[in-house]
Every structure is written in C-alpha cells, then in structure tokens.
Structure 1
Amino acid sequence: MTLRAPAAHRSNALHAGAWWLWALGLAAAASRTTNPLLLGLLVGVAGYVVAARRTDAPWARSYGAFLKLGLAVLVIRLVFSLVLGSPIPGTRVLVTLPEAPLPGWAQGIRIGGRVSAEQLVFALYDGAKLATLLICVGAANALANPARLLKSLPGALYEVGVAVVVAMTFAPHLVADVVRLRTARRLRGRPTGGVRAVLQIGLPVLEGALERSIAVAASMDARGYGRTARVPRAVRRVTAVLTLGGLLGVCVGLYGLLSADGGSYGPPFVAAGLLAALAGLRLGGRRSVRTRYRPDRWGVRAWLVAGSGAAVGGLMAVWDPAALHPGVVPLQAPALPVWPALIILLGLVPAFAAPAPPSKEESS
C-alpha cells in the first residue's frame, strides 16, 4: 500500500502560511552556510518542491524570475569583487587590472589592482548565499496563494496585507498581458521586437492595468474595505504601546543573538517582544469589522510542511559553523558534510505531504 497525497481542491488546500514558514526555514539554513554544495542542495530541494506542487496560477510562474534574479546577483557580486577588490588576502594572483589613483581620504578603497583566486572564490560563496536566499523567497511566492494568505492575516494587518497582495499580484498579471499581446502580434505576422513594437504593446498593457485597478477599487469599496469599528482610546493606546514595544524588543533580542556577547539577553528579549507584539495585534484586530468566508484551516499537512522547514532552519542553526564554511585562505575544495546534507533533505517533505495540484488531464 502506497501513501499518496490527495489532489488539491478548495476544501483541503494547504494553508499559505505553511509555505512561507517552510521557505523561511530553508532561507535561514542558507544564511548559516557558504558551502556551495549545501547551497546548491537547498536550491535543488526548493526547485523540486516547486515543480511538484505549484499550480498554473499567474503567481506560480514567478519562480523562474527569481532564479534569474539570483544568477544576476551572483554575477554582480563577482563583478564588484573584480573591480573594487576584496579584503581577503590572496597569494594566487590571476590577473592585475589597471588601478585608478584615489585621493588620500579614500584610504582602504581601491579600484582595480590585483585579482586573486581566493577573493573570487570568497565572492562566489557570498553571492551564492544571497542568491539562495532569493530563490527560497521565490519558492514561497510560487507556491503560496497571496489571496488566501491575506485571509489568514490578523485584523490589525489587513490594510497592509491588501496593499502587499495587490503589489505581489500586479507583476505576474503584467507579465501575462505582455506574453498574450506578443503572441497575438506574432500570429498576425507583426514584429514583436524593436522600439515601435514595445510602444504598441505597452499602451494596451497599461490600459489593462488601469482597468484592473479600477475593478479592484470598485470591488474593495463594495465589500466595505476601510470601514472600522469604534474602539476606546485607552485600548488604542495600549495596542500601540504593545505593538511598538514588542517590535523594539524583538530588534534588541535579534541584535543580542547576532552579537558576540548578547547570548544571555537575546532570547528573553525576543520571546517577550513576540508576546507583546502578538498581544498588540490581537487588540488591534478589534477595529476590524470584516468577516471570513471559508477560512483556511491549519491541518496536519500544514504542520508537516511548516515543521520540515523549521527543522531544516533550526538544526542548521545549532550545527557547528566550522563544517558549514569551507576555507578560502588557504584555498581548498569544498566538501559535502553528510549530516547537514541529510538535514536539508528534510525540506523535501512538502513534495509528498502537500496536496498535489490537479493535472492537466484532470482539469480538462
């Protein structure tokens, strides 16, 4: 007997927050290492889950754009290292570029000069880590329905959430309009490149975006968007104090966790700040008069998806950092640590636990 995930439909759709927690766990793991083998494994895990569980919705096509963005970030990091140099000392000089003379007040900064293999490898590792972070965020964008994520936000963040969701869905719709218009011009035998073609495509795209924004504004007004309930002034003040104080506590706690001597006061500040912020958001939700139709449920599969990402990020956070950062000086080939690699493979759980999207044969 084989266990198979059920086909996704409206009643058993995975909670959008579970996808974001899973992706943030992978991103946290990527921030802990510069090993290119582990970073490539994280990208492979995220790509496999996206390929197995994304739908045909417009936002699901954004993963390719994040891959290209990550590659662009990697190239830019290498170019900066070539042009501006690096503080990493290196003995294996590859090339010597012409160095521009700088004034005395710009000591410590150089343009050009020697380019060593050590500094390029260090820039490659650093750029790969940032690219992996962007790809993990792109996986969450491709898997989580932004409209369903909006339904799960607290009432205090509803207005901000609407603005974020509209901004997130604008770009995919814009890309879909451009593809549709270019296909139509190609079928009519008209050119799709050049300045004239871009201008002729841009006007219908902007017209469609304007019509869509007017329709969104009309639907929001019809649903009573922006209407709030009466809340006593004392409750509003307590809400503001709890929310701002909680966020400040979280910032202080995170600074303590990142600093060398803040390990004692960092976790208590983070815990107290989170509790205060959640209490403030809970009180702030009293001003919202909206209701939820068919709210998404956080079921067992959502726990499995979110838990797998949290396990990857948490276990990588407590792992020995020396095994996660290959040496650059002296230059040596990176090795694949077995246990961190097995930890990263836990991120494949959503590919089997999350409901499977309907296939083309089923939808047709």
Structure 2
Amino acid sequence: MKKIISLFASALLMSVLFLSCNAKKSSGKLQVVTTIYPVYDWVENILGEKSSDVEVTLLLDNGVDLHNYQPSADDIVKIINSDVFIYVGGESDEWVDDVLENAVNKNMVVVNLLEEIGDAAKEEEFVEGMQQEDEHEHEDEDEDEHEHHHDEEEAEYDEHVWLSLRNASVLTKSIASALKKVDSKNADVYEANSLAYIEKLSILDKEYSAAVSSAKRKTLLFADRFPFRYMTEDYGLKYYTAFIGCSAETEASFDTVIFLSKKLDELNLPVVLTIEGKSHRIAETVVAGSKNKNQKILSLNSLQASSKKDFTNGKDYLSVMYANLDVLKEALK
C-alpha cells in the first residue's frame, strides 16, 4: 500500500510541477506546512503574537489519519513552495522524499520528527496476546521473494511520537529552530514562546509521572489499536493490546479476545481502553468475556485523525493530553 501511495505522489508531481514552478505566495507571508494537528498546534504556540504574519497549513485537516493519507496535487504544491515543512517521517510518509526532490524553494527547512527525537524513536513491537497481521502473508503471493524478505527485515518505527510529552518538548525546540532560520528577525519571539510552551509541557509531564507513581496499577489493557507506546515508555507502564498502533485491523480474532478477557480477570483491571471513535465493539466483547463483566470502557485520544474543526473553544493539544491524564488515572486505580 505504501508503495502505491509513493507512486501516486510521483505521478501527481508530474502534473503539478509546471504550475508550481510559476506559483507565487498569494499572501506574501512565510509559509509553514505541517502534516498532523499536534504539530500545527505547536507551531501556533511558538508563533504566538506573530501568528498573523505566517500562513500555517495543516494537510491532514479532513479527519483522515496519517496511515491513510494521500497528498493531493494542491497539497504537493503547498509543500514544494513552503519555507518550513514538518512531517512525521515514518513509513506512512514514504511519499515525502519524491516531493522534496522537486521543491521549488531550495531554501526550505525540513523537520522530520522521527529524526529529531533520535534514539528516542521506538520500533513497533509485538507484545503477548497481540494479533499478528497474518493477512499480509497471503496477499500478492507472486511478489518477488527477495523483495518480500527485504521488506520484512526493514525496521518499522512507531510514528505516534506526539503522544509523548517529552518528545513534544524536544520537537517544539526543533520547530522553533526551524522558524528562527527562516525568520531571524523574530528569533527572540520564537525562542521565548517555545520556552514558555515547553514549560507547560514539563508541568503536565510531571503530573503524569506523579499520577503513575501513586497509582495502584501499572498495566493498561487496550481492546483496539495501540498508538500510545511512547507514553507507556515514558512512565514505565506495561500494556496488553489487540493490535499495534499502525494496524489497519478492525476485527479481533477469537484468540485475541479470549486472551484480553483473561488478562482482565487475572490483573483485576477496572477499565478497558480504546482510542477515540464511535465503535467499541472489541472492547465490549472483551468485557463480556470476563468474569465480572462490569469494567468501564474509556477512550484515550490519539490525535491521529484530528482536524482544526475539532479544536474550538480553547481545546488544543495540551487540553487533550490533560483529558487523557484523567482517563489514565481512572484506568490505573
């Protein structure tokens, strides 16, 4: 699928390159392009009072998550004409390399989030009871065997870096540095705003640490995809889950459901967790399969399909992470 997306982006490049070479910034403002909402929000906090002087574009602004996003021709034009482009840098962003090779603005500053966090980047992991994505073993049976094994051996990193407050602090600093490079006259403003925002992140990080330290339990059970690997690593939490964070699965196997139900009983957990969304069928089935059948089903917001329209009346990255802390406290009682 990722190869198809990359080819799709390459084809789009051919159709937009001529127009983009003649494109001009309609607003005359500094152009910053981000793929995901958390980064968009970090940028706005760093800009602060200078926000009106910068045009910030959020590409994933229609409810599509990172793993299913395909850039439109208009998206590509915005990227290759931008002054700063910020993206996650994982497998879902394989199309980016082709786009950047055709950048019109040769002075563009590019921020790859996975590269910026360095050794803090985590490979996807399979834990006990997690459902393997076996269907991939049976599709495209005529695919070249060598290429198949090569793909299997490539490390796949967890892309959900924004769900670690500690990563968010590192990345806020990196984004501020990028903005200072392209707009040096406002460097002091960006520095001051980034330090103030990092302090807010640090305060919340300490609240998470205190909550986990005083909690009765140290294990989470997810009946869903699990994009919170970075968060559990930060605070020393153990987890069991139905699927890895980037899984496209929506139906859990009988064995997976039974395993999670038994773990629920074994650990006497009061909560089954899911990510945001309307359907919690797997969680309901896991609860129904337990002895007590009375566990709460609560959701942690992964922010991976968020758009600007979801964030009104003061709601932002920090408020969502505070709400997630409340859910975490309930799950660890």
**Bigger proportion of residues as helix:** 1
In the superposition, the TM-score normalised over structure 1's length comes to: 0.25
Larger Rg: 1
Greater strand content: 2
